[in-house]
Structure 1
Amino acid sequence: MALVRWEPFRELDNLQKEMNRLFDSFSPERYGRLTDGVFAPAAEINETDDAVDLKLELPGMKPEDVDVQVAADAVVISGERKSESRTDEDGYVRSEFHYGKFQRTIPLPTRVQNADASAEYKDGILTLHLPKAEEERNKVVKVQLNPASS
């Protein structure tokens, strides 16, 4: 019988890999984005030379159930997706929809003019257009080039 050296750190490393694999199986694409057990809408952000455009998925929500607050460096979206009360003839209903209150804070890649922000809500997609702050738009940095030393 051969002696095998016990290496506890290798076992901990294997345990960590197994736990990571387990948590990776609960991907947001499969189960929806969850934050602290509460649904949070998926977001998409796009930065252009003049503005930051932000889109959020809010299917089935009414505009009056959503609150949008824009600061110079972040956007806070909160709201509530209200459940519909219904009963089935069999006495039970299965639902995979997420209901309840949510709040999501999205940091912006640059400062914006929050007073000039505009929003559009169509087909369950909230689109925010956030013009960049004037000092960010005109920000040009001159870089000094030093000759490479041989």
Structure 2
Amino acid sequence: MKTLAKHTNPSSPIESIKRQMDRFFDDLTPFTLRNTNDQLLGMDIMTPDTDMMETEKEYVIAVDLPGFQKKDIEINYQDNRLIIKGTRKEETKEEKPDYLHRERYFGEFIRTVTMPTKIKEDKIKASFKDGVLTVKAPKVEVSHPKVVAIE
């Protein structure tokens, strides 16, 4: 059970090791995060939850981005990598509350997904509904070897 505690920047050695291990295991998957922000340096990290599915004809990438707006998301494809960037701005008010617990993220993120095979770059489609970004990347058709008859 979670307990409420006053929000502080985690700077304990255990938190540092945990972050390093998370980054290590993130690098073992086709999903990678460019870690430009780090709590130990006084900044936050965001890694949106991402699923990648494969059908016979395409790859489908779903990214949870609650609280984001379509205009705050950018998608690029380069060197067999799908790069998803986003920014969520913090609501600003005159009065700053004294947080007891804070998990919501505000700021920028970059998510890179390495595609397992070649895709049709010009046919990539994206949609954003109910806080979920869905990117569909059609596969390039695999050419099958053709038997050539010897005359």
Give the shorter-chain TM-score range.
0.5 to 0.7
Question: Which consecutive unaligned segments of at least 5 residues does structure 2 have?
Answer: 1-13, 24-32, 39-44, 147-151
Matched residue count = 111
Using the size of structure 2 for normalisation, the TM-score is 0.62
1:3 alignment partner in structure 2: none
Matches within 5 A, 1:20-99: 23=18, 35=35, 36-37=37-38, 38-71=45-78, 73-86=80-93, 87=95, 91-94=97-100, 95-99=102-106
Give the number of the structure whose residues are more often helix, by fraction: 1
- RMSD (Å) for aligned C-alpha atoms: 2.8
Question: Which consecutive unaligned segments of at least 5 residues does structure 1 have?
Answer: 1-18, 29-33, 143-150
Q: Deviations over 1:8-61 (max 9, x none)?
A: xxxxxxxxxxx8xx739x979xxxxx8453212121111112111111111100
Which amino acid is the alignment partner of residue 52 of structure 1? Y
Using the size of structure 1 for normalisation, the TM-score is 0.63
Q: Which has the larger radius of gyration?
A: 1
Q: Quote how far apart the aligned CAs of 1:99 are.
A: 1.1
* Of 135, 142, 146, the match for 1:138: 142
Which amino acid is the alignment partner of residue 23 of structure 1? K
